[in-house]
Amino acid sequence: SGEVRCWGAGALSQLGPGARTDSASPVVVTGLRAVELGVGGSHACARLADGAVACWGNNDKGQLGDGTTRARGKPEAVRNLRATQLALGRSHTCVRKEDGRVACWGWNGDGQLGDGTTPDRTRPVDVADLTGVLDVASGNGHTCARQSNGKASCWGWNADGQLGDGTHETQAKPVLVTELATTRQLALGSRHTCGLDGDGGVLCWGRNDRGQLGSGGAQ
């Protein structure tokens, strides 16, 4: 039916019924029928059948995209936006648009919106120099995209090398993942990134203190 239900911590309105309370059982997000759902650190967004995007929950960094920093207990539409995919980070939101570009909004202290700047944004801004995107994924403070040429690009927080460009320098615009020639899928954690390559192999990069890169050890 497309009905959305949420449960868990609700102090920041992230469950969507309009009340700031926790719930151990699913509660209905009122007045919403969705085809895709994305969840961030304390906010959520839904993509509707016509491509419209509506978000609710915490909004301290503008991650709901409604032009304010006020929390919302019910879904609020992001104006002038049609999307084909959602990708939510801790306090930022990105979408793949119908034209194959990516737009992001919210927290931008580490350049995770990809527009070449670091101020937070309460409305969508296009990621710079990025077209032909087939897939987008967000982590805690970084975002990556898979393009039609098979390449992967990432931007944002890079303290642990999670952008895969061979450095630990934060990037406010997309940089190529150097060791991944052909990408079929991307998956982002808090401080690490994994990619499925053209041969079906998995490569991971970034933080590895708990062995999250799968290389047989931790460092």
- Note the pTM of the prediction, 2 decimals: 0.95
* Among the listed residues 60, 89, 81, 88, the one whose alpha carbon sits nearest the alpha carbon of residue 72: 60
Q: Sorting pLDDT into bands at 50, 70 and 90, what band is 181?
A: confident
Query: Taking 90 as the threshold, does the pLDDT of residue 3 lie above it?
Result: yes
Residues 150, 137: Cα–Cα separation, whole Å: 15
pLDDT of residue 121: 98
Mean pLDDT for the chain overall: 95
* Among the listed residues 125, 131, 124, the one whose alpha carbon sits nearest the alpha carbon of residue 151: 131
Query: Taking 80 as the threshold, does the pLDDT of residue 80 lie above it?
Result: yes
Q: Which residue type is seen at 122? A: T
Q: Per-residue pLDDT tens for 49-62?
A: 999 999 999 999 99
Residues 170, 78: Cα–Cα separation, whole Å: 28
Q: Sorting pLDDT into bands at 50, 70 and 90, what band is 17?
A: confident
